[in-house]
Amino acid sequence: MKVRRFLGAAALAIVAGAAQAASYPEPLANEPIPNVVELSAQYPASWVYVHDLHFNSLPDGRAAIVDVAADVRAFKGQVPVAQFGTLLPSTTRPEIYVAETFFSRMTRGERTDVITIWDKATLKPKGEIVLPGGKRGQFVTLRNSFQLTNGEKWALLFNFTPASSVSVIDIDARKILNEIDLPGCSLVYPTGPRGFTSLCADGTMTSIELDTAGKVAASSTSKPINDIDHDPMFMTPAMVGKTAWFATFKGNIHGLDLANAKARDLGVFQMPKEKTAEGEWRPGGWQVISADAAGRLYVLMNPAGKEGSHKDGGSEVWVVDPARKQRVARIPLQNPAVSVEVTAQSAPLLVASRSDGSLDVYDATSGAFQRTLAQVVHDPMTMTASR
Amino acid sequence: MSDMDSFAERAVRRVARRTSRRSLLTLIGGAITGAAVIPVLPVSRAVASTHGGGKSGLPPQTTGNPQDPGDQTQCDYWRYCAIDGFLCSCCGGTASACPPGTEMSPITWIGTCLNPADGRSYIISYNDCCGKSSCGRCLCNRNESDRPMVRPQSNNDINWCLGTESGSVYNCSTAVILGTALESK
């Protein structure tokens, strides 16, 4: 019975197949194996690196490379970023640098800290710089733990053991030039042609100028500029040229001019203070501020702002013109967001990452919602637009 | 190296000059006893998500001691007032013990939490459990008085498993009673 039914079905399939083949005289072409996609060495400005902290499996962090202007095939590829790692794309070379940590038996064994150099076109590793001492700082990803200076020829890496220091690394020579102890200070904000500024626990900032060998040529510490107790600066600024614009917990915007060897405080201006039924509008999320190429700032805002709300995400983006010190637009989001990033396109796109790992994309100029890119990563903490 | 050393010395002196004694002690104390902090998925409770503070969905797990009330699988258990991470109670450990085979971080972030049953404020040590991959259950994230990475001893985004023998892989977080605080809130 079963055999007869099978034969009947097979006969039907043959008849149907013959009829369909008449419509398509040629079969599909054979396809080569192996076959692996390559990317262009220069990424379009609509591409964004979306770092996945992967909190449910921290040794296996990664970053997705996504075309946020595309509805189809938006997900371009992936780069591993292991164990609280930080990803840093070069803007001058076809390379992506990843500072990360491995253990020889994944969750145990010998620790290796390393900067892995990835080829943008093939997304294959093309080199590495091993970092001795097991010092690389591990915390929920902040872009300013790993930055470039000296015309992008050197990398600056923040170490935390919990003693703070910064390693100066020559990317071409694949070697560490110097390690600068920075007690009480955190992270690196590239400053001047060759150097950096760190923010310190006493509210000051310290600027370090480096000589051509990577040694400390000069250092200076400011008076306190960061009211850490009452209104601290979020650690990730929006960069407009060499000006860093930081949002603060209570909704102020704080500028630092990093163009010259010594950082200059540009002071603070207020965004509008607006009370709500749940508290007040305050910045909220992880990466809460970004900038477009025209220098406008985009700040992720939470309507239930209060002490302790600073990581709760946001439901609106406020657009601020720092030259006029004014809010120029409000963009209500389709879904609550964790982090925001704006592309460097002439018609910029605003990307809002969601806690489920999806991205919502908006026309940054009009605020119009464009698309959702689903299932991009697990935990989209930081995003870096291609430049 | 010499310029590094002299710079470090100058920097230490500068920081010492500018930092009040109390905050310097906090910083040093944090570095020695272990200031710690627990890695956290900083996404929203209020607005953006179900992560880090929602109901765990697990059956209640109580101590049975009326003086230590509440459900240790829930983020609102009294000892978790400054915790961040996966609750070890949900991961094979307890509120004060690490899961089998993990190593308790010697470095901890200390919080002060009010016990609603006896009205006393307790010093709670949030030791991380380390050496196995993320537990993935009962993520709890409370950020009151949390400050950014600029002040590490007040920041709950850092992976303090860096203080362990077995490496820096984070599994879950405990909330151990160290004693009563001198003053009740």
**ipTM of this predicted structure:** 0.89
Question: For residue B185, is it within any domain?
Answer: no
Give domain status of residue A3, yes or no.
no
| Cβ–Cβ under 8 Å, residues A121 and A38 | yes
- Contacting residues of B for A109, CB less than 8 Å apart: 167
Q: How many CB pairs under 8 A join A and B?
A: 218
Q: How far is A137 from chain B (nearest CA, A)?
A: 8
| Residue given tokens 């150097």 in the structure block | A195
Looking at the structure, do residues B84 and B117 belong to the same domain, yes or no? yes
pLDDT at A362 over 60: yes
Name the closest residue on chain B to residue A356, using Cα atoms. Answer: B49
Q: Is the pLDDT of residue A274 over 60?
A: yes
The answer for residues whose C-beta is within 8 angstroms of residue A173's C-beta and 6 or more apart is: none
> Are B43 and B84 in the same domain?
yes
Structure tokens at B167: 């490496």
Residue B162, helix vs strand vs coil: helix
Cα A123 from Cα A143, distance rounded (Å): 20
DSSP state letter for B34: I
Say whether A215 and B131 touch across the interface (CB within 8 A).
Answer: no
The answer to whether residues A121 and A208 belong to one domain is yes
Same domain? A357 vs A219:
no
Same domain, B9 and B88: no
Domain shared by B54 and B27, yes or no: no
Task: Say whether both A170 and A241 belong to one domain.
Answer: no
Q: pLDDT tens across B64-109, in order?
A: 999 999 999 999 999 998 788 999 999 999 999 999 999 999 877 7
Confidence of residue B35 (pLDDT cuts 50, 70, 90): very low
What percent of chain A is predicted at pLDDT more than 70? 95
pLDDT at residue A385 tops 70: yes
Q: Which of A224, A240, A269 is the last residue of a domain?
A: A224
Distance from CA of B159 to the nearest CA of A (A): 5
In a domain, A22, yes or no: no
Q: What is the pLDDT of residues B107-123, one digit of tens each?
A: 777 778 899 999 999 99
- Assess whether B65 and B129 both reside in one domain: yes
Residue of B44, B49, B137, B160 to mutate for A, most A C-beta atoms under 10 A: B44
Nearest to B82 by CA among B39, B146, B134: B146
Residue A371 has pLDDT above 90, yes or no: yes
Q: Which residue type is seen at A195?
A: G
State the first-to-last Cα distance of chain B, in angstroms, to the nearest integer: 49
Kindly report the CATH number assigned to the domain that includes residue A132.
2.130.10.10
User: CB–CB of A162 and B40 under 8 A?
Assistant: no
Instruction: Looking at the structure, tell me whether residues A303 and A235 fall in a common domain.
Output: yes
pLDDT at A381: 94
* pLDDT the model gives residue B156: 83
Same domain, A151 and A255: no
Distance of CA A353 to the CA centre of its chain: 11
Question: Does a structural domain hold residue A238?
Answer: yes
- Residue B129 sits in a domain whose CATH number is 2.60.30.10
Residue B74 to residue A379: CA distance in whole angstroms: 22
Residues B23 and B41 in one domain: no
Band the pLDDT of B165: cuts 50, 70, 90.
confident
* Exposed / middle / buried, residue A166 (Cβ in 10 Å: 0-12, 13-18, 19+): buried
Two tokens at A243? Answer: 């000006």
Q: How many CB atoms lie within 10 A of CB B183?
A: 7
Q: Do B100 and B167 share a structural domain?
A: yes
Q: Same domain, yes or no, for A247 and A150? A: no
> Are B143 and A311 an interchain contact pair (Cβ–Cβ within 8 Å)?
yes
Between A9 and A160, residue with greater pLDDT: A160
* Contact call for B43 and A338, based on CB within 8 A: yes
State the total domains in chain B. 2
- A142 and A91 within one domain: yes
| A248 and A229 Cβ atoms separated by less than 8 Å | no
Q: For residue A113, which of A142, A133, A95 has the smallest C-alpha distance?
A: A133
The CA distance from B132 to the nearest CA of chain A, in Å, is 6
Q: Of A224, A257, A278, which closes a domain?
A: A224
Q: Which residues of A touch B84 (CB under 8 A)?
A: none
| B92 & B3 share domain | no
CA distance A365 to A159: 39
Considering the domain architecture, whether residues B124 and B52 belong to the same structural domain is answered as: yes
Domain assignment present for A280: yes
Could you identify the residue written with the tokens 């950096």?
A: A196
Distance CA A282, CA A273 (A): 8
Domain region containing B29: 1-33
Let me know if residue A36 belongs to a domain.
no
Same domain for A252 and A195 = no
CB of A335 within 8 A of CB of A326?
no
- Identify whether A69 is part of a domain: no
DSSP assignment of B53-93 equals TS---SPP---S-TTS-S-TTSTTSGGGTT-EEEBGGGTTS
CA distances, A159 to each of A146, A153, A180, A363 (Å) = 10, 20, 10, 38
Q: Are residues B78 and B160 in the same domain?
A: yes
Is residue A322 within 8 Å of A271, Cβ to Cβ?
A: no
Residues 6+ apart with CB under 8 A from A35: none
Query: How many residues in chain B?
Result: 185
Residue A266 confidence (pLDDT) above 90 = yes
Residue A355 to residue B43, Cβ atoms within 8 A: yes
CB contact set of A360 (below 8 Å; sequence gap of 6+): A333, A334, A335, A337, A351, A352, A354, A369, A371, A372
One domain for residues A122 and A263: no
Structural domain includes residue B131: yes
Nearest to B169 among A103, A184, A336 (CB): A103
* Cβ A90 vs Cβ A152: under 8 Å: yes
From first CA to last CA, the distance across chain A in angstroms is: 67
DSSP states of A269-333: EEPP--EETTEEEEE-SSS-EEE-TT--EEEEEEEEESTT-TTS-EEEEEEEETTTTEEEEEEEE
Residues B2 and B67 in one domain: no
Examine residue A344 and state whether it is found in any structural domain, yes or no.
yes
Reading the block at residue B84, the tokens are 């961040």
CB A291 within 8 A of CB A268: no
Say how many domains are in chain A.
Answer: 2
Q: Which residue range is the domain that position A253 belongs to?
A: 229-386
Asked if residue A141 lies in contact with residue A381, where contact means CB atoms within 8 angstroms, the answer is: yes
Catalytic residue ranges of B: 109, 128
* Residues A247 and A304 occupy one common structural domain: yes
Q: Within this chain, do residues B65 and B149 fall inside the same structural domain, yes or no?
A: yes
Asked, for residue B112, whether it belongs to a domain, the answer is: yes
In a domain, A29, yes or no: no
Identify whether residues A209 and A242 lie together within a single domain: no
Does an H or E element contain A146, and which?
A: strand A146-149
Q: What is the DSSP string of B115-140?
A: -TTT--EEEEEEEEEESS----SSEE
Same domain, A243 and A198: no
HEC per residue, A337-372: ECEEEECCCCCCEEEEECCCCCEEEEECCCCCEEEE
Check if the beta carbon of residue A202 is closer than 8 Å to that of residue B18. Answer: yes
User: Where is the domain boundary, A224, A249, A280?
Assistant: A224
Residues in chain B closer than 8 A to A83 (CB atoms):
168-169
Residue B93 lies in a domain: yes
What is the model's pLDDT at position B33?
Answer: 31
Question: Is residue B44 scored above 60 in pLDDT?
Answer: no
